[in-house]
A = this chain, B = another copy of it.
């Protein structure tokens, strides 16, 4: 069967979906049986439950037709097989290959790329072991106890969110810090907290040309010089994670270099050397291996053609239903786990940068809505913040809950008949039902309309393995949505204009655009 890329609104199954007028009333359908049945394995032991989504068997049947007509499974296999899926940049899309091989061998320039990724992982494993054992020490002879990632966007958000998600459940081998913003207050604040003699910096930039990251590298190097530490040699305190063709690769300025390539997009790089170096150094490479295994589990689960058995594809298509049929513009990500406090920020990048597009894969403007706005905070905190609007605001916002049976740290205490973890879970369950079923009240101010759809991803505990599966689930969901909307989820042309204009502002000159001049005056640049 040949692969055809079609706009969503040209599919006959999409027309069928638009014509289907059945409304699923959540307060009527949400039975115990439906809650038990509407569950799909995500991989890594996680389950995706969609009982509180406003769909029924008929709607899911039509979503299956869209999946089939849009050839979502075949397109996913093309990704796994290393086809040039990123049409905008003429690149393969290989983040799945960093955590296992599910398709055919991917050979590029006579190199088996699975071998390449595994090789980098093994090099990181060995390097981390040498750092942890003290075989490699800092330039003044002290053991390294701190790792500082210098990177922005995908080199920051994903690795940082993953580190925060895991730092309390595993024994931390090194404390991790992150410098991302070009705001000098960011680097200054981090450098004020660490001991340079025992710190190892990881410079992360695929191209080796990211303005913020190079400025921060220079910032760190100059600041270490100004510290006048006797015998300190910055070259022995920094490693690079970059592509083999970047100006940073193999430089004498660094203790070592680890590689990724152009086939791993920044926002998909947590399972490559970008996440691998910092996570292996901070938490140990065994933890990173489990993280990869969980992601691979979810990748395998996403190969299933039946959407009722494929959590990522089902999640994606319910999202398309909500976006294009129900016209909901946002999705809130609500993890009931404090450790996932930066996971929504990572998803915000991954989803919005991938599918926040107005043109299809061949550069034609599409006539339908694409990627929604993603935002979120951990529960129960969010309950005391923006949930008011979610319950009683004038717009309906679909919700993505995440929860675990057990906390990460085993210590817990009972208070007024339940322990904290039980309270946390009780709040999660209560919110799903409150959003779905609402509660009528004659006093309209206390009335809850309900019919706010949500799904729940849950598991036993947030571990490296479940975190890997959770991450890959959303990566694959976004990929399936991109194929459904027929956009290229793997480029980001929308970030270019700002970069260009910022350079013009810094270069200055009389021919600078008038508006740039005007704002430059205000801020006294």
22 contacting pairs across A/B (C-beta < 8 A)? A30-B515, A32-B517, A32-B518, A152-B384, A183-B336, A183-B424, A214-B416, A218-B413, A222-B413, A223-B411, A330-B373, A356-B389, A359-B445, A373-B386, A384-B495, A389-B494, A391-B498, A418-B506, A429-B516, A430-B498, A430-B499, A430-B502
Residues from chain B with a CB closer than 8 A to the CB of A219 are 413, 415, 420
Contact yes or no, B388 A492, CB < 8 A: yes
Does A383 reach chain B (CB closer than 8 Å)?
yes
Contact yes or no, B371 A373, CB < 8 A: no
Contact yes or no, A373 B389, CB < 8 A: yes
Contact yes or no, A513 B409, CB < 8 A: no
Contact yes or no, A381 B181, CB < 8 A: yes
Q: Return A48 CB to nearest CB of chain B, in Å.
A: 11
Contact yes or no, B498 A384, CB < 8 A: no
Q: How far is the CA of A413 from the CA of B424 in the complex (A)?
A: 46
Q: Which residue of B lies closest to A375 (CB)?
A: B375
> B-facing mask of A509-525, CB < 8 A → 1, else 0?
00001111111111111
Q: Return A501 CB to nearest CB of chain B, in Å.
A: 3
Size of the A side of the interface (Cβ < 8 Å), in residues, is: 155
Which of A101-109, A254-262, A345-353 sits within the interface?
A345-353
10 nearest CB pairs, A to B: A356-B389, A153-B384, A35-B518, A430-B501, A349-B385, A356-B393, A375-B375, A391-B494, A388-B494, A430-B502
Which of A140-148, A184-192, A302-310 sits within the interface?
A184-192
> B-facing mask of A182-225, CB < 8 A → 1, else 0?
11111111001000000000000000000110111011001100
Contact yes or no, B413 A389, CB < 8 A: no
Q: Which residue of B lies closest to A181 (CB)?
A: B338
Q: How far is the CA of A240 from the CA of B157 in the complex (A)?
A: 36
Q: How far is the CA of A494 from the CA of B431 in the complex (A)?
A: 11
If the complex has contacts A188-B168, A356-B393, are A495 and B383 also in contact, measured as CB distance less than 8 A? yes
Q: Which of B34, B329, B377 contacts A345 (CB 8 A)?
A: B377
Does A357 reach chain B (CB closer than 8 Å)?
yes
Which of A59-67, A72-80, A433-441, A476-484 sits within the interface?
A433-441
Q: Return A304 CB to nearest CB of chain B, in Å.
A: 21
Does A266 reach chain B (CB closer than 8 Å)?
yes
Q: Which residue of B lies closest to A330 (CB)?
A: B373
Residues from chain B with a CB closer than 8 A to the CB of A368 are 394
Within A407-423, the residues touching B (CB, 8 Å) are 407-409, 411-413, 415-423
Contact yes or no, A181 B378, CB < 8 A: yes
Does A319 reach chain B (CB closer than 8 Å)?
no
Within A318-363, the residues touching B (CB, 8 Å) are 329-330, 336-339, 345, 348-349, 352-353, 355-359, 363
Residues from chain B with a CB closer than 8 A to the CB of A413 are 184, 218-219, 222-223
Q: Return A405 CB to nearest CB of chain B, in Å.
A: 5
Q: How far is the CA of A188 from the CA of B167 in the complex (A)?
A: 12
Q: Which residue of B lies closest to A460 (CB)?
A: B524
Q: Return A293 CB to nearest CB of chain B, in Å.
A: 23
Q: How far is the CA of A293 from the CA of B185 in the complex (A)?
A: 24
> B-facing mask of A449-480, CB < 8 A → 1, else 0?
10000001010000000000000000000000
Q: Which of B222, B355, B387, B495 contacts A387 (CB 8 A)?
A: B495
Contact yes or no, B49 A522, CB < 8 A: yes
Contact yes or no, B373 A395, CB < 8 A: yes
